A = this chain, B = another copy of it.
């Protein structure tokens, strides 16, 4: 009997649990909140999300490792040391390099629009004002997406979906993509990230987390902005130099920002200067990496990754 632990069981797909049980797995939910080390020692399969790190040191410290598969329904798995896992005969199943499976997963793309609109329409202070008993629309005059110049950095799975949303809203979309990818004729191609910052009023980042992209957004491009753009990051915190973003906001070169990610999320620092700024300025909003975090999208990714597992095991038999 193969034992499965759902390490972070909140709202986990009931359909997947039923499927696994049908296939002869014994599924446990981590109700006692055991550590990832204990999980690796006791279960042959582990489903995990983004909540804990697995590195070489942790794996070396385990008494004995029973785990053979770790399933992570995410594209970015930098919280798990893949090399170290392979050394310990653990196979990782994730969506890294398998984005074609995710065409119906829209949670992060939708959050990009949510954050853009929340910022442009001053939704947060408007709601606060009404809650306090004041009814005054003039305090919250916002901006439209319609007719705005929107710069999209990265035209992969998410960049292309988001570009399409902005196009439907009537924005003029400009795309920067370093790879040779064909663009629909209604999108303009930018020659560089600098170009994106020079020309646009809304700028949104959709690139992968990889070594060469770390701090891709920094003062060298941020400070080129001419139209006080709003900047949206629903990708990864490490792609942006946070100190530079703060300076750009303080100097009003960047008109506003909405970020769903920060540099350090595991071991989050409540004194992060961006958090301090957000506490006193309504033009910076920060959400706690809720991009992929909808019940609908989570269930779908859990189902898809389970199918990947079952296919793999079937082939091995």
Contacts and interface: CB of A to CB of B under 8 A. Distances in A.
Interface in A256-270: 262, 265, 268, 270
A189 interface: no
5 residue pairs, one from A and one from B, having the closest CB atoms:
A133-B270, A114-B117, A135-B268, A106-B146, A144-B296
Given A104-B170, A114-B114, A127-B278, 9 more contacts: A110-B145, A111-B117, A126-B288, A131-B286, A133-B268, A142-B295, A143-B295, A143-B296, A165-B168
A130 interface: yes
A121 to B, nearest CB: 5
A198 interface: no
Contact of A146 (B10, B110, B122, B293): B110
A311 to B, nearest CB: 24
A160 interface: no
29 contacts: A10-B138, A11-B141, A104-B146, A104-B147, A106-B144, A110-B117, A110-B169, A111-B117, A113-B113, A114-B114, A115-B123, A118-B123, A123-B124, A123-B287, A126-B287, A127-B278, A130-B286, A130-B287, A130-B288, A131-B286, A133-B271, A135-B289, A137-B289, A138-B293, A140-B290, A141-B295, A142-B295, A143-B296, A144-B296
Interface in A95-119: 104, 106-107, 110-111, 113-115, 117-118
A287 B124 contact: no
Contact of A141 (B51, B135, B294): B294
A294 B145 CA distance: 10
Contact of A126 (B137, B271, B290): B290
Interface residues of A, number: 66
Interface string A1-38: 00000001011000000000000000000000000000
A285 interface: yes
A118 B121 CA distance: 11
A199 interface: no
